[in-house]
């Protein structure tokens, strides 16, 4: 092979490599191609799902065709979109004649972020509700057909899908005064022989893009989740923190597409079967929070003798409003579980104590800031006996600090730590002081404190209620806006969160002084961690509702003031004299509990140390 041939081959190779590089698609082109393939896959999957549903529905149907070449609802395939409105005093619903379902829901007593326009839960293409009926020849998707509105009043309407003048399927909607619940039924009329007689169910496809209705995307997204109730059991939900999907084997009573303060719920009397649920996150700044979807079926009588009864709830996640829906029902729907109030014991405290006190205070016509202030003070008064018990336990140990210091000086070596701890415990027992005496009272406070933490972010009563500089207690108060985003903090600074942090640091300072009894030599090393916690809370709670940070600020401030007053009013000299008067004779004391176990551990440690020394001497 001569030099010219080699040169030619090299040039050809370079041309091929260059052409492959230049003709390689860009990232944008690859992404577009992938979306194209995905869309084809979705269409194919959709067609496969429809075939599977039709085959399952017609498995027992006779093979003989009862129809001519014309589709059953052929005339209903053509028509004009017409919007039909029904309403009561609290809500307005708009239905579209194409599909015969609700395409818009407006709540009259709640406002958009402009605080002027009644809030819209969904509209237009945000929502889709499709019912699938079957016969031997076809799958009937109601979303493709035009319905005729009949029997129309201000609050009721029947959407009719007509095969002919004597054969049709009715969707009946009825609203009631002062209620967000909508009666919804499906009934076939004159459809004998026109629908699959052996198919006793209707398939349902329901989807909705949940709009961002509140100012704070992050926190609203955290409380927006697809929730459902298993028949005869409790509620469950898909993850709110990411995309999630679940196939529910058990019968389901209702499915809810939930925002922070509002929900769209579909309920059935006959239970949903073969339920498949999905929830997907929507990107920030899109105007939406989640993309929800549900596929299921429920009982349907093709002969029309028995209507399929269902209900919609388009309304607020208000605990007592949802609870009232169970009045006069044999089996509760438990829609009040859409208001998250914490674990069972915490939920019990909220249900029977916190909510009732809150409603009582709200009934006075006070601003929500004052209601939260009074609620916090009432809670602090209720738990004051446990607060006093905890303080006195710490005070008793503090007045014994000089004696503890003497023991620390007596055992300066690390190897004598067990002896030192045993003697300290003996001293406490001698004076009738328990180091754990303040723990139980503190634990008794926790259910009430946690209950308020769970209740305030879920209280729709705080929505768009202003107080001081906060224009909405249900979301963050952006006192300072940054032109950039700070990691873990965000692009704003909440003043109530800052005040809460400051009072937490002050409270930590007083608590550290209170707990510095000298019995724990590691206390000094732990101080910096205690001061670090409030700083961490600043980053954690900065995007939380201002009402919650305001509550924590008031609660912590009251705790600081209570500690100061208790210290001022407690005569530590008299307390020490009282302890001395009640001092027990060490010789007559019988070691029990922790002190006895500590002494046993010390003896074991001393025996082990003695054996190790003997082994060293032998070597």
CA nearest neighbour of 479 among 488, 487, 469, 489: 469
Q: Residue 536, CB half-sphere, CA atoms under 13 Å: how many?
A: 6
Q: Is 115 left (phi over 0), alpha (psi -120 to 50) or beta?
A: left
For 87, list phi and psi in degrees, rounded to 5. -160, 165
CA neighbor of 372 nearest in space, from 556, 558, 560, 551: 551
Return d(Cα 614, Cα 608) in angstroms, integer: 10
Beta carbons within 10 angstroms of residue 357's beta carbon = 16
Q: What is the DSSP string of 162-195?
A: EEETTEEEEEEEEE-TT--EEEEEEEEES-TTTS
Q: Is 219 left (phi over 0), alpha (psi -120 to 50) or beta?
A: alpha
C-beta separation of 204 from 298 below 8 A: yes
Using CA atoms, how far residue 523 sits from 519, 520, 531, in Å, is: 9, 6, 13
Q: Could you tell me which residues are beta bridge partners of residue 175?
A: 182
pTM of the model: 0.79
pLDDT digits (tens, 9 = 90+) for 483-534: 888 888 888 899 999 999 999 998 888 777 766 544 455 555 566 777 788 8
Minimal CA–CA distance to 320: which of 339, 340, 301?
339
Determine phi and psi for 85, rounding to 5 degrees.
-115, 135
CA distance 493 to 498: 8
Please give the Cα distance from 186 to 132 (Å, whole number): 12
Secondary structure (H, E, C), 12-56: HHHHHHHHHHHCCCCHHHHHHHHHHHHHHHHHHHHHHHHHHHHHH
Q: Say how far residue 372 (Cα) sits from the centre of its chain.
A: 22
Measure Cα distances from 393 to 285, 404, 428, 576 in Å.
53, 15, 11, 12
pLDDT value, residue 61 = 43
Q: Residue 61: exposed, middle, or buried by beta-carbon count in 10 A (0-12, 13-18, 19+)?
A: middle
CA distance 42 to 48: 10
The C-alpha atoms of residue 237 and residue 37 are separated, in whole angstroms, by: 31
Residue 12 in tokens:
């050809």
Q: Which two tokens stand for residue 92?
A: 């307005």
Between the two ends of the chain, the Cα-to-Cα distance in Å is 84
CA angle 24, 26, 32 (to 5 degrees): 115
Report CA Rg, the chain: 35
What residue ranges of the chain have pLDDT lower than 50? 31, 59-69, 517-519, 587-589
Distance CA 501, CA 487 (A): 18
> Who contacts 300 (Cβ-Cβ below 8 Å, separation ≥6)?
133, 186, 188, 199, 200, 201, 202, 308
- Between helices 384-399 and 546-569, what is the axis angle to 10°? 50
pLDDT at 54 (0 to 100) = 58
Distance between CA 26 and CA 394 in Å, rounded?
69
Torsion of CA 407, 408, 410, 412, to 10 degrees: 160
Cα(437)–Cα(459) distance, integer angstroms: 35
């Amino acid at each position: 092979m001569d030099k010219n041939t080699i040169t030619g081959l090299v040039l050809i190779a370079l041309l091929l490599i260059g052409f492959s590089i230049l003709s390689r698609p860009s990232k944008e082109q690859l992404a577009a191609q992938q979306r194209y393939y995905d869309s084809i896959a979705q269409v194919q999957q959709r067609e496969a799902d429809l075939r599977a549903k039709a085959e399952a529905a017609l498995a027992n149907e006779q093979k003989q065709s009862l129809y001519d070449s014309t589709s059953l609802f052929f005339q209903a395939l053509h028509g004009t979109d017409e919007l039909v409105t029904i309403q009561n005093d609290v809500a307005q619903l708009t239905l579209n004649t194409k599909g015969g379902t609700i395409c818009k829901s407006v709540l009259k007593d709640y406002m958009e972020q402009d605080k002027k326009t009644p809030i819209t839960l969904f509209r237009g293409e945000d929502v889709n509700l499709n019912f699938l009926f079957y016969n031997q020849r076809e799958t009937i998707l109601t979303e493709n057909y035009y319905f005729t509105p009949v029997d129309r009043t201000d609050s009721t309407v029947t959407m009719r899908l007509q095969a002919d003048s004597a054969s049709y399927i009715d969707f009946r909607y009825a609203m009631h005064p002062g209620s967000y619940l909508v009666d919804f039924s499906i009934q076939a009329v004159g459809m004998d022989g026109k629908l699959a007689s052996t198919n006793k169910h209707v398939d349902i496809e329901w989807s909705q893009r949940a709009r961002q209705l509140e100012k704070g995307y992050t926190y609203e997204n955290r409380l927006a989740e697809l929730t459902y109730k298993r028949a005869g059991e409790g509620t469950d939900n898909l993850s709110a923190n990411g995309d999630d999907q679940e196939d529910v084997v058990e019968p389901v009573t209702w499915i809810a597409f939930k925002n922070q303060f509002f929900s769209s719920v579909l309920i059935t009397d006959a239970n949903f079967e073969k339920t498949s649920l999905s929830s997907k996150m929507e990107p920030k700044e899109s105007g939406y929070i989640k993309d929800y979807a549900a596929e299921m079926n429920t009982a349907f009588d093709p002969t029309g003798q028995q209507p399929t009864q269902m209900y919609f709830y388009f309304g607020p996640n208000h605990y007592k409003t949802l609870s009232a829906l169970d009045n006069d029902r044999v089996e509760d729907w438990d829609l009040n579980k859409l208001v998250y109030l914490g674990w069972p014991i915490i939920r019990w405290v909220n249900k029977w104590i916190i909510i009732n006190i809150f409603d009582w205070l709200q009934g006075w016509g006070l601003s929500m800031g004052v209601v939260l202030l009074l609620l916090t003070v009432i809670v602090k008064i209720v738990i004051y006996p446990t607060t006093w018990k905890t303080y006195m336990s710490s005070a008793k140990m503090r007045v014994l600090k000089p004696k503890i210091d003497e023991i620390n000086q007596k055992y300066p070596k690390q190897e004598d730590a067990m002896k030192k701890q045993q003697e300290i415990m003996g001293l406490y027992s001698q004076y009738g002081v328990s180091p754990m005496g303040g723990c139980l009272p503190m634990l008794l406070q926790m259910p009430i404190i946690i209950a308020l933490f769970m209740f305030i972010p879920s209280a729709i009563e705080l929505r768009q209620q202003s107080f001081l500089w906060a224009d909405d207690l249900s979301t963050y108060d952006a006192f300072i806006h940054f032109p950039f985003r700070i990691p873990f903090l965000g692009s704003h600074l909440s003043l109530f969160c800052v005040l809460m942090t400051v009072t937490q640091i002050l409270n930590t300072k007083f608590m550290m002084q209170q707990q510095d009894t000298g019995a724990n030599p590691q206390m000094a090393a732990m101080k910096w961690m205690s001061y670090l916690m409030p700083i961490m809370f600043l980053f954690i709670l900065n995007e939380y509702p201002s009402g919650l940070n305001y509550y924590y600020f008031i609660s912590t401030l009251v705790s600081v003031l209570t500690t100061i007053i208790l210290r001022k009013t407690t005569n530590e000299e008299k307390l020490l004299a009282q302890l001395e008067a009640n001092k027990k004779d060490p010789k007559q004391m019988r070691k029990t509990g922790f002190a006895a176990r500590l002494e046993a551990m010390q003896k074991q440690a001393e025996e082990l140390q003695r054996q190790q020394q003997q082994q060293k001497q032998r070597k």
